[in-house]
Amino acid sequence: MAPKDAYEAILSDLQKTQTSRRKHFLPALSVIAIMVIGFFVVMRTRPDLLEQPIGMLVLQCALWVLCLLVMPAIGVGLLFPGRRTRLMIALAAIVCAVAATTGWPVTPHVPHGGEGGFDRCLTVVLGAGVLLLGLGFLSGAFIQRRRMSSVFWVAAGLTLAALNVITWHCPQSGLMHVLPSHVGGAVMLLGVAVVAGIAIHRRGRAEITGDADGTPPAA
C-alpha cells in the first residue's frame, strides 16, 4: 500500500471513530441535561440563585461547561488538547469548582439560612452523582479510549456536575456546611467513580481487544 493510501485509510478510520463517539456522546449529554433540569424542576433551585454576585454566576456557568462538555469530551476522545492545555483545563476546573462552591474570593463566607442540612445535602450530592455516573457507565464513556486517564476526565466531569447541582440547590454558603457536605460528598463520589471506572475500563477494553483479535472475551 502506498504511503498516501495508508494515510487516507488511517484518516478514514479516525473519522469513523470520531463519528461513532459523537453518536454516543451527544445522546448521553442530552439525557444528562434533561436529568439535571428535571432535578431542579422537582427539587427546585436555591431562592437566591439569581441574586448571587455576577462573578459567582459566571463561575458556576463556566463550571457547567467544563464538567458537562469539555472534560467528558476529552475523556471519550472527542477533544485532544496538548499536555499544557489539559493541565490548564484541569486547573481551571479546580479553581471554578472551589470558587463556585465556597464563594471565595468573589463573596465573603456569610452563612445563609435554608432547608439544606449536612445529611440532606450529602445525600443529594451522592444521589445525583450516582445517577450521572450510572449514565456514564451505561453510555460506554469509560471505555471509549485506551488510555486510563480517560476515566479520570469522565469521572471528574460528572462529579463536578453533581457538585454544581447542590450549589444551585442549597442556599447555605457557610464553609462549615459547604466543605463537609458539598465538597466532602463530591470527594467521596470521585473516589468511588474512579475505582469503579478503572475496573469497568479494564474489563471493557479487554473485551474490545478480544473481539478485535478474534478471540472470545473472558467470561
Distance of CA 70 to the CA centre of its chain: 9
Q: Model-level pTM?
A: 0.81
Q: Give the Cα separation of 165 and 60 in Å (integer).
A: 10
| More reliable by pLDDT, 37 or 218 | 37
Please tell me the predicted confidence (pLDDT) of residue 108: 56
Residue 14 CA to residue 29 CA, distance in Å, equals 22
CA 118, CA 75: separation in Å to the nearest integer? 32
Helices (H), 44-148: 54-65, 71-76, 83-102, 118-139
Given a cut of 70, is residue 116 above it in pLDDT?
A: no
Under 8 Å between Cβ of 148 and 136 = no
pLDDT confidence of residue 21: 64
Residue 117 pLDDT exceeds 90: no
